[in-house]
Chains A and B, each alone.
Chain A
Amino acid sequence: MRGRPNLFTDYESEMALFPTTTKRVAVALLLIFALLVPLGAIPGLSFLQESSWLVLINRALVFAIAALGLNLLTGVAGQVSLGHSFFMAVGAYTAVLLGGAPGKTVWGLELPIWIWLPAAGIAAAIIGIIVAPTAVRVRGLYLAFVTLGLVFIGLHLWRNFGKVAGGPTTGRPWPPLEFALWKGDPIISFANDGPWFGVQLTSDAKTYFFLLVAVILFTLVAKNLMRTRIGRAWAAIRDRDIAAEIMGVNEVRGKTQAFAISSFYAGIAGALFAVILGRLIPETWDLLLAVEFIAIILIGGAGTIAGTLLGTFFVVLIPRIVEDITFFFADQVANQGPLAWLGDLFIRKSPDDILGFVSTGAAGPGLSIFQLNVALFGVLIIVFLIAEPLGLYGIWIRVRNYWKGWPFTY
């Protein structure tokens, strides 16, 4: 009710996605911001328009879809899965099988996107349903190991199934991101530069818009799943599966649904990931990728949508930011800029540099930037698990509660 935000006269208003004007305005502003990013129209952030940044942002958007799926499975339903990269691979290879161009060594049906994209999700979901019963038998760490096994089974398959995956070292090309009714010229293409409604856009910008719409759709679905019967059943299973069953929640059905829907998300994301990269080798779908998603939801905040999105952008964009900062300081050190003294503390200039431990050269002495990033993630996961189990979202919650409780503390 107006002026009485806590007076709910029906469940609909209590469960509303955007219950207050403030929230509606915030979401609208965020949307406008998102739309302006590839146009370079945001003062101070116009560099985001550059291809190198847009590619990274696109990658983050794809990862967001996959992370939303894993969040539903692990964050909401409480089923730890290390096999997310496997489900992504299933999606990617289904897509290439249906939509890819046939060659001498590979299969491909050259079907349009509206077939291969949903099929990618559905194929992954079917595998998910097949795997789900094991989650009823084994829990926690054991389930993590079962799903871990999937990754290695998958890797073995992709390496040896050349007709689908291409060569083990070369991979194969994926179909471009374009919309056609059937084989032939596409109606809309996201894969080439050109004007849209009179605005000149790069293929990256077009892909960005496509992915943005997809992420919004998948976010809404995930959010709605969480606040309806299915989501409540998942949360009950997560908190205590035996207690949930006694309350009348069907554990087998709940876990199967969680695996199916999560894998669907992963399949779609896997297909899109391969498509925007263009060519992939089987090794892409390894354990490291799966761990990256675990990192995303732990850093972002398990069980929350906003946290998952935050975590994705954090995890995908931080390496680039670390890189930029490192190069900035390396530059300062090299040219004796005003911040050189700060750079001296960690940039390694020569082999006998005592303080510096980061080197800008790929094979130089000390840690490379890539190694620094990996180390940083390890540290971040440890810190978040110990200090802030609810992740970035938890930090936001604390900030929000501080002001919500004003002028009291409890």
Chain B
Amino acid sequence: MTTTLERRDAPDLSGAFPTVAYKVREWAQRNPTAVAMREKDFGVWQEISWEEFWDRVLTAAHGLLALGVDVGDVVSIHSEDRPEWVILDMATVAVRGITTGMYPTNPSPEVQYMVNDSGAAVHLAEDQEQVDKVLDPGPDAFPDVKKILYVEPRGIRSYDDPRLLYWNDFLELGRRHREQNSGAVEERMAAATGDDVMTLVYTSGTTGPPKGAMLTNANAEFCMEKIINAKGRTEDDRLPSPSDQVLTYLPLCHVAERIFSTWTMCSNGVILNFAESIETVQTNLREVQPTLFFAVPRIWEKIHATILIKLEDATFFKRLVSGFGLKMASIIGKDRAANGGDFTWRSRLAYWVANPIFFRALKERIGLRHCRWAGSGAAPIAPEVLEFFMGLGIPVYELYGMTENSAVATLNFAHRVKLGTVGEPYPGIGLRIDEETGEIQTKHPGNFKGYWNKPEATAETFTDDGWLKTGDVGVWVEGTHVKIVDRIKHIIITSGGKNISPSEIENSLKTSPYVKEAMVIGDRRKYLTALIGIEYDTVGNWALREGIPYTTYRDLSEKPEVIELIQKVVDQTNEKFARVEQIKKFRLLPKELDHEDGELTATQKLKRKAMEDMFHDLVESMY
């Protein structure tokens, strides 16, 4: 035990690298009683202050020291979003360890791969389900794991694996260690450097096994400076502050959620509100009414579809008003889209008329009434969907980035929005589009350190002159904005030799409330076809109204009426595209796609290769 340590409650850390943990500590000193996060428990949003939050982080950090976590050791977290996730994440960073997160939906083999690939010494499994994923493959399946922490004890109490440690016992361990070695964590924090890897973010792995992208403290710092504190991000150009509310609901292992919830919290002190689960997001949104909101296109499409279906189902007078409101929204949306996202006098007038009778209540219902900045990213979105939300007066902006460059690439700044593009590069960063391949490349302090234990893969990701290859094809629009064409490897070259970007067509299909998934096929083929998955809820609802009886998803998608319905959607999409880009035939998927069945990645992206194999017969029947 070190005896030379200064035994003070708050050791001086000035001069240390401002890691995320360091920032939490600063907030706790500056605003100890202010609310840091809320978690809904027993029907009430329980508040955790900055002081309590830091206290728990410090205790957990001591717990990690007590478990022997050394500098550069990996701690893996397999849990839904909850305060413990963030606490363990911050504690790990505080002791200069590396956090890696996993999607709650990751099946056992994927967990095994990621945990072993990262060599995690401590693994947090939220509940019995996640603990089983670690214990079921046998005692030797996870050779590096020394302790398995669990938060929900239900069902685990009778387990006798010696590696299991209940979260509260873990904190107790930390408390004892803290009493005896106060200042030990601060010592580690003081030694932190910008080059320390703070987190491994595993790529979703649409092709091949996932790779762990190493992000350093300096990467995170750069990301916070460029994205979170970007000047001109919101309409009123106010930076995020403790008066802002954020709903944490997307998996925290994804870099986007990390940036827009925990990192925004650390750098600007916004309040995190943890959604109970993905099923309750709609309710939680309505309760929390976040001021800053980030969602992936799938969520925006879902909200869009829900609004349209629910309005259609409303009673006569309400339908009358909403019909008028939607007309106004489309006028406003078009005006704003053509005007850099700003209102014109015409759209302001329309907004002024429709807001009190329609928009206000509608936004309250979907939980975005107080929203002052909303973002869409992580996948391409159809401009129609963004235009719809702009029409409702929700300031939604598309942005672009990827894990490997700490998500720092482009953003649609307020007043300079161009729909259909992902915006302008952040000021002062290096971003170029390769003239030969059209690939977007970046070079800035946000570029990652490399893939964990994969030097060859890392080398392949960088050009010879040190630019990061994003793998996305883009074009400049008017010299300022970037438009993404598609992933390089997704581009379809028809047998006629025409280059086609499938995602644009797919997103256009997905703007229909009836379409959930769409995959355009046509590589080395004569014409384009598509596999389409219907949205069970909305098509089911439609069938109910039309009086079409059905039993299951499969039954519903085989109904000739439903095929006819989707045919209309396809026809509408075809009108927007050139002849070669039109879908000649399509088939409806007989099942809902699922992560566990290997059709989707954890982030709900299509695994195209796997899909083509799995639905081979369906695809061949169209040619």
Which residues of A are at the interface with B, using a C-beta cutoff of 8 A? 3-4, 6-11, 14, 405-410
CB of A24, distance to nearest CB on chain B (Å) = 20
Give the shortest distance, in Å, between A251 (CB) and chain B (any CB): 26
Binds A, one of B135-143, B313-321, B427-435: B313-321
Cβ contact of B311, chosen from A8, A10, A407, cutoff 8 A = A407
Collect the chain A residues with CB atoms within 8 Å of residue B318's CB. 406-409
* Given A406-B361, A407-B314, A410-B313, A7 contacting B322 (CB threshold 8 A): no
Q: Which residues of B contact A (CB under 8 A)?
A: 38, 43-47, 245, 286-289, 310-311, 313-315, 318, 321-322, 325, 358, 361-362, 365, 370
Closest to B370 in A: A3
Select B361's contact among A3, A6, A14, A407, beta carbons within 8 Å: A407
Contacts of A6 in B (CB 8 A): 286-287
Does the CB pair B286–A407 fall under 8 Å?
A: no
Closest to A7 in B: B287
* Contact status of A9 and B44, CB under 8 A, knowing A407-B358, A408-B314, A409-B318: yes
Chain B residues whose CB sits within 8 angstroms of the CB of A406 once the complex forms: 318, 361
State A406–B288 Cα separation when bound (angstroms): 19
Is the beta-carbon distance between B289 and A408 smaller than 8 angstroms? no
Residue of A nearest to B358 (CB): A407
Contact between B311 and A408 (Cβ–Cβ < 8 Å)?
A: yes
Our pick among A9, A11, A409 for the contact of B313 (Cβ within 8 Å) is A409
Q: Which residues of A contact B310 (CB under 8 A)?
A: 408-410
Roughly how many angstroms separate A3 CA and B286 CA in the complex, as a whole number?
11
Q: Of the candidates A8, A405, A407, which one forms a contact with B44 in the assembled complex, judged by CB atoms under 8 Å apart?
A: A8
Chain B residues whose CB sits within 8 angstroms of the CB of A11 once the complex forms: 44
Can you list 19 A-B contacts (CB < 8 A)?
A4-B245, A4-B287, A4-B288, A4-B370, A7-B287, A7-B289, A8-B44, A8-B45, A11-B44, A406-B361, A407-B318, A407-B321, A407-B322, A407-B365, A408-B314, A408-B318, A409-B315, A410-B310, A410-B313
Whether A407 touches B325, Cβ cut-off 8 Å, given contacts A3-B370, A4-B287, A4-B288, is yes
The residues of A that contact B362 with a CB separation of less than 8 Å are 407
Q: Considering the complex, give the chain A residue whose CB is closest to the CB of B321.
A: A407
CA distance A409 to B311 in the complex (A): 8
B283 and chain A: residue at smallest CB distance: A6
Cα separation A7 to B39 with both chains bound (whole Å): 11
A86–chain B nearest beta-carbon distance, Å: 42
Q: Is the CB of B47 within 8 A of A7?
A: no
Contacts of A405 in B (CB 8 A): 365
Given A4-B287, A9-B38, 5 further pairs, Cβ under 8 A: A6-B286, A7-B289, A405-B365, A407-B314, A407-B362
Once the chains bind, are A3 and B289 in contact (CB under 8 Å)?
A: yes
Judge whether A9 and B289 touch: CB under 8 Å.
Answer: no
Complex Cα gap A10–B361 (Å): 26
Residue of A nearest to B289 (CB): A4
Q: For A10, what are the chain B residues with a Cβ–Cβ distance below 8 Å?
A: 44
The minimal Cβ–Cβ distance linking A291 to chain B, given in whole angstroms, is: 37
Collect the chain A residues with CB atoms within 8 Å of residue B315's CB. Answer: 409
Chain B residues with Cβ under 8 A from A409's Cβ?
Answer: 310, 313-315, 318
Q: Which residue on chain B has the smallest CB distance to residue A406?
A: B361
A410–B307 Cα gap in the complex (Å)? 11
**Inter-chain contacts of B321 with A (CB < 8 A):** 407
Question: Looking at B45, B47, B286, which has the most chain A CB atoms within 10 Å of its CB?
Answer: B45
Shortest A234–chain B CB gap in Å is 21
8 smallest beta-carbon distances between A and B, as pairs: A6-B287, A409-B314, A408-B310, A406-B361, A407-B322, A7-B287, A9-B45, A4-B289
A7 / chain B contacts, CB cutoff of 8 Å: 45, 287-289
A15 to chain B minimum Cβ distance, whole angstroms, is 10
Distance A99 CA – B561 CA, assembled complex (angstroms): 81
The answer for the CA separation of A312 and B608 in the assembled complex, in Å, is: 68
CB of A349, distance to nearest CB on chain B (Å) = 43
CB distance from A381 to the nearest CB of B (A): 29
Taken together as a complex, chains A and B put the C-alpha atoms of A407 and B315 apart, in Å, by 9
Residues of A within 8 A of B313 (CB): 408-410
Set of chain B residues within 8 Å of A408, measured between Cβ atoms: 310-311, 313-314, 318, 365
A347 to B365 CA separation, bound complex (whole angstroms): 52
A297 to B97, CA, bound (A): 66
Residues A9 and B361 in contact in the complex (CB < 8 Å), given A407-B314, A408-B311, A409-B318: no
Hey, which chain A residues are within 8 Å of B287, CB to CB? 4, 6-8
* Minimum distance in angstroms from A406 CB to a CB of chain B: 5
Which B residues are CB-close (under 8 A) to A14? 43-44
Which residues does chain A contribute within 8 Å of B288, judged by CB atoms?
4, 7
Q: How far is the CA of A408 from the CA of B362 in the complex (A)?
A: 8
Using Cβ atoms and an 8 Å threshold, which residues of chain B touch A407?
311, 314, 318, 321-322, 325, 358, 361-362, 365
* Whole-angstrom distance between the Cβ of A289 and the nearest chain B Cβ: 42
Residues of B within 8 A of A410 (CB): 310, 313
Bound-state CA distance A8–B38 (Å) is 10
Nearest-CB residue, chain A, relative to B318: A407
Min Cβ gap A99→B in Å is 48
A3, A4, A9: the one within 8 Å of B47 (CB)? A9
Measured CA separation A8–B318 after assembly (Å)? 29
User: B residues within 8 A CB of A8?
Assistant: 43-45, 287
A3→B245 CA distance, assembly (Å): 12
How distant is the Cα of A4 from the Cα of B291 in the complex, in angstroms?
A: 11
Known: A407-B311, A407-B362, A410-B310. A9 touches B46 (CB 8 A): yes
CA distance A402 to B370 in the complex (A): 23
Minimum CB–CB distance for B2 against chain A, Å:
41
Q: How far is the CB of B476 from chain A (nearest CB, A)?
A: 41
Q: How far is the CA of A406 from the CA of B365 in the complex (A)?
A: 8
Q: Which residue in chain A gives the minimum CB-CB distance to B245?
A: A4
Q: How far is the CA of A8 from the CA of B40 in the complex (A)?
A: 9
Bound Cα distance from A4 to B370, whole angstroms: 9
In the assembled complex, the Cα of A165 lies from the Cα of B617 at a distance in Å of: 94
In the complex, A157→B152 CA distance in Å? 65
